[in-house]
Structure 1
Amino acid sequence: MAAGLAGAVCGAFPGLAVAATTVRFPIEAANRRFSVLYDGDRIGSHTILSSSANRETVITTEIHLLVKTAFITTYAFAHRSEEVWRMGQLSSMRSDTEEDGESLHVEGRETPQGFRVVSKGRPFFAPAATLTSNSLWTPQVLEQDTVVDAQHGGVIGITSRKYADEELLISGHRVPVTRYTFITPYLAGSIWYDRKSLWVHGEFEHDGTSVRYLLDN
């Protein structure tokens, strides 16, 4: 879902700061599990796990969604990606996606010319200090002008807006949070981070229907 929800009009909100050269990894930032709700019903999960060793951090994203109507599958989506980060910068990535029978594969690796990405289209180079569309585990992704599309390949634009701090009910507790709205060609909605910059909630739109992310852990 975070790899591709809905088409949207770019440029609706002013961009935030210029992209940072390295990514900060807040405590437990990449260990998230969300239940995904569509029309109030749970249709799947979005999990982000990380492990670190030898100055590298490996971040694995898995998304599984299944929508049924009268016992008939009307939408199926599965996405898995693995990103290797070294010294706060993306070193390599690999992703596989199945969406309603279509298979997509994306690979990327840092090179002296920049971050080289290969998908169905021709190879291209993104800036060396790039992030991907799966990097919603850090609010720094909302400081970018462009990100690598982890589902389709290519580079996509991103615009965002930050709102005043508020409180949100998370797992039964009132938590101080910061809300951002953002738009890309495939994903649009609102996302909330707590004071440790951890992703705690999400609300997106898919074909005009609200999709919610509720934190499980």
Structure 2
Amino acid sequence: MRTLLCLICSITLSLPVWAIEPTRLYGAQSHYQVERKGKVIGDYHLNFSPWGQGGTHVSVAMDLNIRFMGLFSYDFEYRSDEYWRDSQTLEQMLVRIDDDGDLTRYAFERRDGYLYRMEPGGSTRLGSDLLTTNHWHPELVRRTNLVNTLTGDVSQINAQLEAEEWVELGNRRVQARRYRLGGDLEDTLSWYDTQGRWLGMEFSARDGSRVRVWLKPDQMTASLGEPYE
């Protein structure tokens, strides 16, 4: 009996956390609200759709608009398209950033088991088993290296569980785990519910203010409801 229990435990522990399809957590889409200094400044959207033979296309969009004392405004537009052969293998990614008129593009592609950042006239090998800083993947907090989609480089992290707590989503309370990502993303906090779904994050803007990205309350019905009271 002890041998059987040990075998069962071994098999259970070896299973990936992300052993289900993304839509089991998020539905076809998940919408977030972006806040700064208590004011709404934009939206963050995740969209999931089939790709290839059993793969997944994850589309990420963030649009921000910050007005400064009615004198001028700052606009930020972010687009990312991730193409996953399965939940663990990122095959391609395209990123477009419009930072108030300053355009940046990144392209990533898997070749011979490694993910490369494609560049004019060449490419840079980044790693073999990388997730991205788009946060939706629940195994992010178990990794030490991520593709930073804002810089195009690899960021090192050392995620630590800071608290298990209840968070407010509208008039509902959700049991969540709060992680500090550490390393190159030391000031970034990220929350996941008990099913592994990403609830939101908080980080520092260039001026030192805190920006908060948080799941909209009406999105709770899009996926598993067991964590909610």
TM superposition shift of 1:72: 3.2
Partner Cα distance (1:141, 1:173) in 2 = 26
Correspondences of 1:186-197 after superposition (within 5 Å): 188-197=187-196
Indicate the SS of the match to 1:106. Answer: strand
Aligned to 1:28: 25
Which runs of at least 4 in structure 1 moved beyond 6 Å after TM superposition?
none
Kindly indicate whether residue 129 of structure 2 is the aligned counterpart of residue 129 of structure 1.
Answer: yes
| Structure 2 gap ranges (5+) | 1-14, 220-229
Task: Give the Cα–Cα distance (whole angstroms) in 1 for the partners of residues 174 and 136 of structure 2.
Answer: 17
For the residue of structure 2 that corresponds to 1:28, the secondary structure is helix
Q: Could you tell me how far apart the structure 1 residues matched to 2:74 and 2:120 are?
A: 23
For 1:139, the aligned partner's letter is P
For residues 60 and 150 of structure 2, the distance between their equivalents in structure 1, rounded to whole angstroms, comes to: 11
- Which TM-score applies when normalising by structure 2? 0.77
Match of 1:45 in 2: 43
- Change in 2 beyond 3 A, CA 1:123/1:49: same
- Other-structure match for 2:222: none
Task: Determine the structure 2 residue equivalent to 1:117.
Answer: 117
In structure 1, what is the Cα distance between the partners aligned to 2:17 and 2:177? 22
TM-score, normalization by structure 1 = 0.81
Name which one, 1 or 2, has greater alpha-carbon Rg. Answer: 2
Following superposition, the deviation at residue 148 of structure 1 comes to: 1.3
Identity %, equivalent residues? 23
Query: After superposition, what is the alpha-carbon deviation per residue over 1:11-70, rounded to whole angstroms, capped at 9, x for unaligned?
Result: xxxxxxxxx989544523473211111111111011111112531100000011111113
Superposed CA RMSD in Å reads: 2.5
Aligned match of 2:96: 96
Q: CA deviation at 1:120?
A: 7.6
Distance 1:94 1:205, change over 3 A: same
Is the 8 Å Cα contact of residues 94 and 107 (structure 1) preserved in structure 2? yes
Q: Is the 8 A contact 1:33 1:45 kept in 2?
A: yes
Within the alignment, does 1:106 sit opposite 2:103 as a pair? no
Q: Aligned letter for 2:72?
A: T
Which one scores higher on RCO, CA 8 angstroms, separation ≥ 6? 1
Post-superposition CA distance 1:156-204 (Å, at most 9, x none): 2122211342211123211111110113546732111111111113222
